[in-house]
Amino acid sequence: MDFDFSQEAIKVFKALSDPTRYEIVRMLVCCEELGCEDFRCAFQKSKPAMSHHYRVLENAGLVVYRKDGVHVYYRLHREQLDRFLPDFSQAHCEDSYQTAS
């Protein structure tokens, strides 16, 4: 097995091992993008705490961001997620539709 692939897989799985980061990714699965305030309100955590989670997800290649003035918005990097967990998106979109019914 390729060493680089293994190292990348470890980063992805470590990033997703935290409940907050897992939930951030789950939220982004069915949304085009969400802003920092959306996540901060959902998790009731400080800006520094959330910044740490964003950095870990960015370093794992799971999210990308864009700035719009003072606001920051995150999107899921689906190719990276699908590379290691190909059924994640489908499972969580179906789950969110079932809970909404």
Residue pair 77/66 in contact (Cβ under 8 Å)? The answer is no
Residue pair 50/39 in contact (Cβ under 8 Å)? The answer is yes
Query: Would you state the pLDDT for residue 96?
Result: 47
Per-residue pLDDT of the chain (101 residues; tens, 9 = 90+): 577 889 999 999 999 999 999 999 999 998 889 999 899 889 999 999 999 999 999 999 999 999 999 999 999 999 999 999 988 887 777 544 344 43
Query: Would you state the pLDDT for residue 1?
Result: 57
The CATH number assigned to the domain with range 3-100 reads 1.10.10.10
Domain range list for the chain: 3-100
Q: If 0-12 CB within 10 Å is exposed, 13-18 middle and 19+ buried, where does residue 62 land?
A: buried
